[in-house]
Structure 1
Amino acid sequence: MPRTVDPVGRRHDLAEAVWRVVRRDGLDGASVRAVAREAGLSMGSLRHYFGTQSELLVFAMRLVIDRIEQRVASLRVPDDPRRAAETVLRELLPLDDERRAENEVWLAFTARALVDPALRALRDEGYDLLRDACLGWVRLLVGPERAPVDVDVETDRLFALLDGLAVHAAMRPAHCSPELLTTVLSRHLDDLATR
């Protein structure tokens, strides 16, 4: 009897193979041949799931967004707005192996998005999702009664902080421990919530 293959699971497996190749060899090393070899498949088998290398790369980049959204959706978020913000925003920082992999892959794809329109659209979608999330947390933390706070500026500060911490963690992981990343985020949120 022929073995049944879960096509959704196989597509995710192939995207994870892309991630491994990208982390090891860079995005230029993520050819269809290299990804098929990493996944233990023939190139013909890989093409049953993705018609082009571009489709494969877009799916692998999309998987970063999907995983973060799934992780955030499964959180038990505290009622206190300050604690809730930290609980959710910590999920965006590369604090463990899974999130470090997502971060490194996202940064590699973001660089390629400068010259790849399909990846650029996905990069922009990710940017908009994160900025909207930052805006929502800033509004919740400062509240309408704190009129002197410029919500747009504070949103961009929070967004830049998260982005900057992610880039620093990828570029100099030895200098960016999970404790440092969470301390910087926590102090920023304290400042925002009590200003």
Structure 2
Amino acid sequence: MKTNGISSALWNAFISVNGVAVGLIGLAIALVAWAWKPETEIKLSIAIAVTILSGLALLFAILTKALIDTNKELNNTTQNLIETIKNQKQQIPRAILCKKIETTKGVHQTIILLEASDLFLGGMAVSFSYVDQDGFERLIGHGYISVIQDDKRIQATLTNLLPGQDDIANKLLQNNRQTLDTLRTKPYLSHPFLTQITQGPTNANT
């Protein structure tokens, strides 16, 4: 059965250095025995001292190996976290094309075609914003994911354009490349709606 944390690191280190440690202990004992004349008995105190020193050497080797392995594991975990964050950032799809489509009911809708992304589901509410020249994201409006195509690309419908954003909307419809490149489409859940589903309806008169 696997153990976790420090105990696991120490055990793995012990297994790793065990063979080397046993060899060193045996070599140390052999050298001590060789240093004494064959007819001279090795004193118990010397044997104990050799055993203690060998044990300390083994303990030092185990702790050093455990520290190295733990540091490697920490570095790997940190690297995996960095890669995960990078992948999450890359999930926000780039806008490819924008066009106005007339529905069967005669209503004109602004459709934005996005790159494939696992971030969205059909019918999901989304927000649209663009990055201005100062690096701020400016909210344009809201909409929803209308179609996820067979090629995994996504059609997002802009249904609610905020006041003062007509110029940006026109640039999108003109497929201005700079405007498309700065467009950000993200999953959206309004604060009032979130409050309603978590706390229930509230009375405006209270």
Same fold (TM over 0.5): no
More helix by share: 1
Using structure 2 for the length normalisation, give the TM-score.
0.25
Q: Highest CA radius of gyration, 1 or 2?
A: 2
Using structure 1 for the length normalisation, give the TM-score.
0.26
More strand by share: 2
